[in-house]
Amino acid sequence: MMSPESVQDWLDEHFAEVVARREVPGASVAVLAEGRVVTAAAGVLSTATGVEATTDSVFQIGSITKLWTSALVMQLVDDGLVDLDAPLRTYLPDFTVGDAAASAAITTRQLLCHVAGFEGDVFTDTGRGADAVERYLASIRDIPQLFEPGEVFSYNNTGFVVLGRLVEVLRGKPFDEVLVGRLAAPLGLTHVSPSPYEAIMHRAAVGHVLGEGGAPVPAPFWALARSNAPAGSMLAMTARDLLGFVAMHLAGGSGVLEPGTVAAMWQPQVKLPRLSGMGESWGLGWEMAEHDGHAVVGHDGGTVGQAAFLRVVPDHGVAIALLTNGGDVFGIFEDVLAHLLKELTGVTLPGRPMPPAEPEAIDPAPYLGRYADTITEITVGQDADGVIWLDRVPKGVIAEIGEKPLRIRLVHFDGDSLISAEPFRGIHPVFAFIGRDETGLAKYVHYGRVVARTRKGTV
């Protein structure tokens, strides 16, 4: 097994080369092992400015922010202010979505493990003021309930904004202030930046998207709306600070969370279908899996051209945070994070799903049709040669930030799951078709998020 010293030697020798080879503009990594943190950085924060990425540079952590929101919610539980299984309206009387019965029944636990069932990709911009999250809560009163609370896992950004509002109401302060005051400050973290106003005080990474020639170019703006901050729209920090937050969990809460609370957060709450790049189950905020007999927990995050990865092996006391601002982010994940995790713990992270060499011939009739949510329209069809195609058209904020329409050839993967025959951004996305209506058609397509069928029939 590698020591912290040998990890540092490996990073000094290889990290910059990997960043360049994977065409990642800039990246930062931190590794926690044997109670010590070693770090490295390489590349540039923006190809437009050429400013060098350093270990004290802040990158957006995207949806890894949900772990911070989860910790704030569990502090409320520790303080006796929230019962995870009581209706959320006990604490947020104004919480309402499009289904009255679901609105009255949804619990905090269901929000933490992504089974609340309402539309999860609502990115309404409610302004830059301290009331952005409060106004967001009022804006979702009519969003659709896709399935019964507790029925199925569907990754839900909207739900974590609701949790952010729960934190605001019970702490009496805006979400950003609570995050800094109850997590960053007690842990002595110096570069945690909940908005661009703090990030600009440090060396801040700019996200990159693919330009017309295929090379990464600076994204058209730095962050998404403040209203989605509790879900991960703008929180930035150094890789070292992210591991400072993780170290608190590995130490059993360190006075920030009560003894036993971390263990409860790392208990599986809901199992997931096999999907690209996601774990086997979800805990209270945390993504979870078991590999080589060891629990591995973590989360990934993506914002406008930035991608972040966090993996923790609790029984080894090892954690790795990798922050990037574009390029082949899955490639650098394999070359750096997965490699070092194996060297430090013996745990091999499974490769991402691959299409079978000889896919089984299937009848795709139950899967064909149209599916839609607020950011995506998906059509699954079959051509005259029997080839199955999935067309995904972005809309709303996803289209605004430059996401392009996608056409994918699908083949059978496993059960009611199909997989992309060709790679897309370094992975083969898996699409699970779940539920059946009275005619035998799939109700939903699941690729981490559940998207509901919009009308019956085939195309």
Is 241 or 211 the better-scoring residue by pLDDT?
241
DSSP letter (8 states) at residue 82: -
Tokens 């006075």 identify what position?
255
* Beta strands at 442-446 and 450-455: parallel, antiparallel or unpaired: antiparallel
User: 334 in helix, strand or coil?
Assistant: helix
In this prediction, residue 97 has a pLDDT band, given cuts at 50, 70 and 90, of: very high
- Asked whether residue 7 carries a pLDDT value surpassing 70, the answer given is yes
Q: Report the candidate in 165, 170, 134 with the shortest Cα–Cα distance to residue 69.
A: 165
Q: What pLDDT does 404 receive?
A: 81
Rounding to the nearest 10 degrees, give the CA dihedral for residues 311, 313, 314, 320: -40
Q: CA end-to-end span of the chain, whole Å?
A: 54
In this prediction, residue 275 has a pLDDT band, given cuts at 50, 70 and 90, of: confident
In this prediction, residue 455 has a pLDDT band, given cuts at 50, 70 and 90, of: low
User: What are the beta bridge partners of residue 301?
Assistant: 308
Question: Cα dihedral sign for 178, 184, 186, 190?
Answer: negative
Q: What pLDDT does 166 receive?
A: 98
Q: Is 195 a catalytic residue?
A: no
User: What are the beta bridge partners of residue 23?
Assistant: none
Q: What pLDDT does 180 receive?
A: 98
Residue 448 in contact with residue 278, Cβ under 8 Å? yes
Backbone angles phi, psi at 163, to 5 degrees: -65, -35
Burial of 360: CB neighbours in 10 Å, binned 0-12, 13-18, 19+: exposed
Q: What is the mean pLDDT of residues 4-17?
A: 97
What digits encode the pLDDT tens for the residues 18-56? 999 999 999 999 999 999 999 999 999 999 999 999 999
Structure-block tokens of residue 117: 């069932």
User: Which one is catalytic: 46, 57, 63, 417?
Assistant: 63
Q: What is the mean pLDDT of residues 225-242?
A: 97
Residues 243, 241: Cα–Cα separation, whole Å:
5
Q: What is the mean pLDDT of residues 209-231?
A: 91
Q: What pLDDT does 13 receive?
A: 98
Backbone angles phi, psi at 270, to 5 degrees: -150, 135
Q: Report the candidate in 240, 306, 263 with the shortest Cα–Cα distance to residue 24.
A: 306
Residues 280, 121: Cα–Cα separation, whole Å:
22
- Asked whether residue 425 carries a pLDDT value surpassing 90, the answer given is no
Other CB atoms within a 10 A radius of the CB of residue 52 amount to 13
Residues 335, 338: Cα–Cα separation, whole Å:
6
- Asked whether residue 457 carries a pLDDT value surpassing 60, the answer given is no
Average pLDDT over the chain reads: 94
CA angle 93, 98, 103 (to 5 degrees): 35
Q: What pLDDT does 450 receive?
A: 87
Q: What pLDDT does 375 receive?
A: 82
- Asked whether residue 324 carries a pLDDT value surpassing 60, the answer given is yes
Q: Report the candidate in 396, 429, 426, 395 with the shortest Cα–Cα distance to residue 411.
A: 429
